[in-house]
Structure 1
Amino acid sequence: MPLNRTAVRLIAALFLIVGGSAVEAQRLKELASVGGVRPNQLIGYGLVVGLDGSGDQTTQTPFTVQSVITMLTQLGVQLPVGTNLQLKNVAAVTVTATLPAYARQGQSIDVTVSSIGNAKSLRGGTLLMSPLKGVDGQVYGIAQGNVVVAGAGAAAAGSSTQVNQLAVGRIPNGATVEREVPGGVGQGDTVTLALNEADFGTAAKVTQAINAAFGGGVARAQDARTIQVHAPQDPDARVTFMARLENINVVPSDTAAKVIINARTGSVVMNRSVTLEPCAISHGNLTVTISAKNEVSQPKPLSGGETAPVQNATVEVKAEKGGVTAVPKSASLNEVVRALNQIGATPQDLLAILQAMKSAGALKADLEVI
């Protein structure tokens, strides 16, 4: 069996495992999020010290030197005017973190430390105290600690080797929450649910399931994504209500037929709703081969000529014959994959074939290229 057909069959098997069965019921917490319950992004700037000569080259990253001088001044160290610092063990970094919903003061969160200069590695470094700010400019956390880098590298005598990324690391529980984010579901007599995917059918089914569990009139769909639910105002009763609400089982509506194509990697992914109309496909491969043969032109003795290199290039163009393949009407994912497998094209060739089928009206799905 050719390799390209094997690859397509493996993709077919994966599709059948993922989407071959009927749509199953899902818990409401997997289909929707609760309004006001969301994480927030934090960012900060800091210095990583203690590097083993792998820090920023300070002549090319003046902001690292400025940061060190400012830090030393705040700590009571006054450097003489005109001091030219030549640092090797310091790196300027950005510090990012995600503040989870309902985070309280004193809680620890993970942070990611990324070099913004030309440091070779952050391995073994320590992040100094760095404030983490939200989009409003307020400080919500303070980060500090030893940086854990998953990669490793070594260099000697002009040769080097590296495993994974050395300029990014993490500090588990490296930040302490200093400010809480107001909000949540504790105010008002209603709770808002937002579906992860806007769909009128799913919104109607969620509303019906909630009303069946708590009684008619409790839930009301506002649009294809938003559902408003009446909830008790007492905090303890509301927590119990939300726990029961999130575990309601709902069978979502079938998603719209869609084919996702990654033009950079050649990946093709389609969901279970994709169908095909009858069509005929002819596909052939064009191969261009260029080979160079280097030779030396040696003049005859006493001829006065000079030895010169000669390049002989050979260009070969080979066009494979592509037969016409009849693709029948397909109503299931299994039949779609079987029909595409009959073409004998590689996944990279499927990019052009699927786009042509969409233009011809034979592919009944939305085509999205990423």
Structure 2
Amino acid sequence: MKAIVTFFVVCTLVMSQNSFADRVKDIASIQGVRSNHLIGYGLVVGLDGTGEQTAYTAQAFKTMLNRFGITLPQGLNPKLKNVAAVAVHAELPPFIKPGQTIDITVSSLGNAKSLRGGALLLTPLKAVDGQIYALAQGNMVVGGFGAEGRDGSSVTVNIPTAGRIPNGAIVERSVASSFADGDHFIFNLNQPDFTTARRLAKAINEFVGPQTAKPMDATSVKVSAPRDVSHRVAFMSALENVQVEPADSSSKIIINSRTGTIVVGKNVRLKEAAVAHGSLVVTIAEAQQVSQPNPLAQGETTVTQQSQAAVAQEDAKMFHFDPGVSLDELVRAVNAVGAAPGDLMAILEALKQAGAIQGQLVVI
């Protein structure tokens, strides 16, 4: 086994010299090895008057006191300016064991003004199956703060109603994994692609031996593995560092119409086309005019609105694209015209409708 591991390490060092390739661990994940989301409901106490007064906060506070054998008088509604009801969520990593700790995020559920300086009381964190997997508690770290004046003015920096507790939850239950089951495992590509799946299987077969890996579809590659758990861990340690050259992504132009962001993939090509784009500017000015009657007349002074509209159109500039224009040439042409992001969106959409873009136009 020592010789096999040494062989793996040597091959990994040789393959890492390829700067155009990615490691398997960066482009794929193991099927069945995943994290799990946890959520809980709790109380944050010790706030400096920035808590909340809601029905569910009072109910949770009374329930907590009952667990300690304290019963409030009937009809008493406690003032809870220093208490806030919060949602607690965390992510349970794969292979984590009881006794280890995880980070948690705490967020206000009601109208609390700030959680700064508060402490989370013991809160069970459950998964979707309803089982408790971790217990959370601790002092919060809040990055934001707020201040309010007596006249109603206020200032807020960042978000004071949410914070984190590093290592704030202790794991109480582990999640079973299928990593050690069977005589194989499956790599799932982060970006499905038939070419990348074929290259991944080929790289593993060249690294370990023929027929070790078989591509199943555009996402999955099935790999034969040792049954012994310790051997399987060593085997995976070597495989995750194998270098694979991913295939080029499909040609896409991504447009974010809300922010004006435009991203053009390197494989986008244009067919021959000519584009002219001009800007039409309409300006409307509003003015008020006072109408004053003759002193001897019986009229009244009135105020009338006057509107003046002006239309101006900039000279449209036409530019020509030759067949097979690359991304660099497209950017140069658009910069030469001086088109704004909004104008460029209109140009790209018109080129797509004309069938002059070889690629997908995606609007998000």
CA gap of 1:298–1:119, structure 2 versus 1, over 3 A, is farther
Following superposition, the deviation at residue 366 of structure 1 comes to 0.9
Q: Is the 8 A contact 2:28 2:189 kept in 1?
A: yes
Q: Per-residue deviation at 1:152?
A: 2.1
TM-score of the aligned structures, taking structure 1 as reference length: 0.88
Listed as ranges, the matches of 1:9-20 within 5 Å are none
Give, in whole Å, the separation in 2 of the partners of 1:334 and 1:262. 20
Aligned partners of 1:114, 1:100: CA distance in 2, in Å? 21
The residue correspondences of 1:190-209 to structure 2 (distance < 5 A) are 190-209=184-203
Post-superposition offset of 1:125: 1.1
The letter for the 1-side match of 2:94 is: A
Secondary structure of the equivalent of 1:64? Answer: helix
> Aligned partner of 2:56: which letter?
F
Separation of aligned partners in 2, 1:48 and 1:307: 64
User: TM-score normalized by structure 2?
Assistant: 0.89
Which residue of 2 is the match for residue 224 of structure 1?
A: 218
1:332 shift after superposition: 3.0
Q: Return the letter of the residue paired with 2:32.
A: G
Q: Match of 2:32? A: 36
* Structure 2 runs not aligned, ≥5 long: 1-17
Q: Distance in 1 between matches of 2:41 and 2:280?
A: 52
Deviations 1:74-129 (A, max 9, x none): 12111111112332111111111111111111111111111121111111111111
The alpha carbon displacement at 1:184 in A equals: 4.1
Aligned partners of 2:139, 2:124: CA distance in 1, in Å? 16
1:26 corresponding residue in structure 2: 22
In structure 2, the residue matched to 1:111 is: 104
Change in Cα spacing, 1:306 to 1:332, as seen in structure 2 (3 Å) is same
Residues 325 and 342, structure 1, Cα contact 8 Å, conserved in 2: no
The reply on whether 1:211 has 2:205 as its aligned counterpart is: yes
Match of 1:338 among 324, 332, 341: 332
Q: Give 1:79's aligned residue.
A: 72
Contact 1:93-1:115 at 8 Å conserved across structures: yes
Contact preservation (8 Å) 1:259, 1:268: yes
Moved more, 289-298 or 44-53: 289-298
CA pair 321-139 structure 1, distance change in 2 beyond 3 A: same
Query: What's the counterpart of residue 100 of structure 1?
Result: 93
Separation (CA, whole Å) in 2 of partners of 1:320 and 1:331: 27
Cα deviation code 1:300-338 (max 9, x no counterpart):
768676666554443333332323221223443212322
- Contact residue 268 and residue 326 of structure 2 kept, 8 A: yes
Which region of structure 1 is more displaced relative to structure 2, 227-236 or 280-289? 280-289
Residues 331, 324 of structure 1: alpha-carbon distance in 2 compared, 3 angstrom cutoff: closer
> Is 1:45 matched with 2:41?
yes
2:21 alignment partner AA: A
- When residues 279 and 212 of structure 1 are mapped into structure 2, their CA distance, relative to the original with a 3 A threshold, is same
2:318 corresponds to 1:315? no
More displaced 10-residue stretch of structure 1: 203-212 or 140-149:
140-149
1:273 & 1:186 partners in 2: Cα distance? 41
Aligned residue-pair number? 346
Indicate the SS of the match to 1:77: coil
Structure 1 residues without counterparts, runs of 5 or longer: 1-21
Contact 1:123–1:148 (CA under 8 A) maintained in structure 2: yes
Cα deviation, residue 346, structure 1? 0.7
Computed over aligned residues only, the root mean square deviation of the Cα atoms, in angstroms, reads: 2.1
Q: Which deviations, in whole Å up to 9, do the C-alpha atoms of 1:22-59 show, x marking residues without a partner?
A: 99211111111011211111111111111111112x2x
Taking the aligned partners of 1:317 and 1:23, their CA distance within structure 2 comes to 56
Question: Percent identity at matched positions?
Answer: 51
Partners of 1:55 and 1:300 in 2: CA distance: 66
**Alpha-carbon displacement from aligned partner over 1:206-234 (angstroms, at most 9, x marks no partner):** 11100000010111111111111011111
Residues 209 and 197 of structure 1, relative CA distance in 2, 3 Å threshold: same
Residue equivalent to 1:3: none
CA offsets per residue over residues 248-292 of structure 1, 9 Å max, x none? Answer: 011111110011111110100122111111111121222233333
